[in-house]
Amino acid sequence: MAGACPRRLAVIGGGFVGLHAAVHAALRGVEEVVVVDIDPGVVERIESGDASRLHVREPYVVENWPRVRGRIRASTSYEAARGAEAFIVAVQTPLRGGRVDYTPLRRAAEGLAGVVKPGALVSSEVTIYPGGTVELLAEPLSRLTGLRLDEELLVAHAPERLSPGSARWTPENIPRVVGAVGPRSLEAALRLYRGCLGVPVHPVDDIRVAEASKLLENSFRLLNISFVNELKRSLDRLGIDVRRVIEAASTKPFGYMPFYPGPGAGGACLPKDARMLEEYTGSLLLRIARHVNETQPLYYAALLLKRIRSHGARRILFYGLGFKPGSPYPANSPVLRVAEELAQLDPGLEVRRYDPQIPWLSDFAGEEEALDWAELVARWGYRGRPTRGKPVVQIEDL
């Protein structure tokens, strides 16, 4: 890489993480950013240049798109990335059948092997178990290309950190942990993240530390969310409001951090990352937390059913389908599970769904049609939206 920034950078994976990385790099002065994604729909939306058509709706991406769209192009072919001086790998490792699927990372290594040039940096932002970057990416890539690790092929790991929906925390100011397969790779990674992208960096001398740090971050959250959800079940039986308990405990200015109950932790990261660490370590605590998280939607469905019966309603509209209240992203949404569990608890109910930000999962074309149909609205986020006089149960308040 000449200077701090590469002239040409390729991002492998054009989803939530990858598109943030592409926009960030273009804003910081990378002349050409190539996004490679196997989904033609993702490529078409990026290539359209129209911010309103992007599949990632975060303010950082949408608001900066007019400034960077001339520097970003997309393709389904790895050939489009040939000649890049640096690569950021941002493919998913999703849960399939309750297990983490590492196939996308393996395929990324195979695709990169045909286009990576000697001296290039390959930085993976993919959440992975300790040792996984070397096992699934670096060693296969070295074997397929014949390039020697940390000499001709520079490989690093900088686990992604993004805060969906946050205006305060963006790719430009969130500190990053960076590890690498050796000193030359680490130097190149620091030149990219600290020098070019301008982010605060915490370098580590063992790539496994960087990998494990991400799993710790998200497993910490899942453990605490599951604990407070289990506590809610116990305190509900005793007639004690868990939120008042949390409020009281939060007056302690040290040694405590509040977490709040809900129908479960969802999204593309928390359940999957905790599962990954559980598989790697055999942690009993994580297994118990996963069980609590997986059964929490049923508990909330039962709470909701009591409220529904008190209103005598039969047509139930779930308004809001994201993984968090009001979120436009439905990945592993706990409220979708609540809807499924509710329909099984009382087959006599008609259960339908609507979210103006997630039309492909909605049963109605518009809000008016949805509310006209409903007898009761089970709302997830969207506080203050009109309900045409229909009774509302706010799911996060159950």
Distance, CA of 276 to CA of 211 (rounded, Å): 11
Cβ–Cβ < 8 Å for 133, 211: yes
Distance, CA of 74 to CA of 10 (rounded, Å): 9
The token pair at 334 is: 């706990």
269 in active site: yes
Distance of CA 256 to the CA centre of its chain: 26
Going by C-alpha positions, the residue among 40, 38, 30, 39 that lies closest to residue 10 is: 30
Q: How many residues does the chain have?
A: 398
Residue tagged active-site, from 196, 214, 272, 324: 214
Going by C-alpha positions, the residue among 117, 111, 119 that lies closest to residue 89 is: 111
Residue tagged active-site, from 5, 196, 269, 390: 269
Going by C-alpha positions, the residue among 347, 386, 337, 339 that lies closest to residue 363 is: 339
5 in active site: no
The token pair at 253 is: 């200015």
Q: SS3 of 201, please?
A: strand
Which residues contact residue 199 at a Cβ distance below 8 angstroms, ignoring those fewer than 6 apart? 171, 172, 173, 174, 175, 176, 193
**Please, what is the angle between helix 284-311 and helix 207-238, to 10°?**
40
List residues with catalytic annotation.
214, 269
